[in-house]
Amino acid sequence: MDSRISLFIDNELSIDEKIEFVSKVHEDNNFRNDSLELLRQEKRLRSEIAERIPLVHFKESKKRGLSFFRPFALMASSAAVMALIFFFLISPKDMICSPHRFVLYNPSVNQVEISGSFTNWEALPLSKVGPSGYWEIVLPLSEGEHRFTYILEGNQRVTDPTVLTKEQDDFGGENSILYMEI
């Protein structure tokens, strides 16, 4: 079915599109018949009481070249539906992030990384702030609790000395617990 029929019935076409639609109705008998049948169906649906649901049969289009793309269109529409479901299941509050600057002072090391719940526990390198001994990184954090640890020289884990809340992790070490309010 050509989507223009539905757009015409719902009065959603521009004047130029209506002219094109009427021209096609006059030129193509199958298109005209499909349009008339859908208009009759719409009339029945808009009546006060529908006694039965009309059965509409459409003739298969002779254009076979586009059938190759139907599986791709189905996959794309499925992906769009999943994206919408994902979007509406996540609270907008969860998607709002605020930048947070993590800073550690340790002039005696050559490498500092951070690993935490907000990085899926992947280690991210901190940048050295000149010769001062400070290391820093700015990361977007959502509202809520975040657990993290610093990793010195690739293997020594230390908590953040500026964050007072800590917990034991499952590996015998400690994590800092940071609570973000946005």
* pLDDT tens string 100-125: 999 999 999 999 999 999 999 999 99
The mean pLDDT value for 136-161 works out to 95
CB 7 within 8 A of CB 39: no
DSSP E strand stretches across the chain = 97-105, 112-116, 124-125, 127-129, 134-142, 144-152, 156-158, 166-168, 174-180
Q: pLDDT-derived band of residue 82, with 50, 70 and 90 as boundaries?
A: confident
Q: Tell me what pLDDT residue 147 has.
A: 96
Residues in the chain: 182
Q: Tell me what pLDDT residue 49 has.
A: 60
Sorted by where each starts, the structural domains of the chain and their CATH numbers stand as 3-89 (no CATH), 94-180 (2.60.40.10)
The whole-model pTM stands at 0.49
Q: Tell me what pLDDT residue 79 has.
A: 74
Q: Check pLDDT > 80 for residue 159.
A: yes
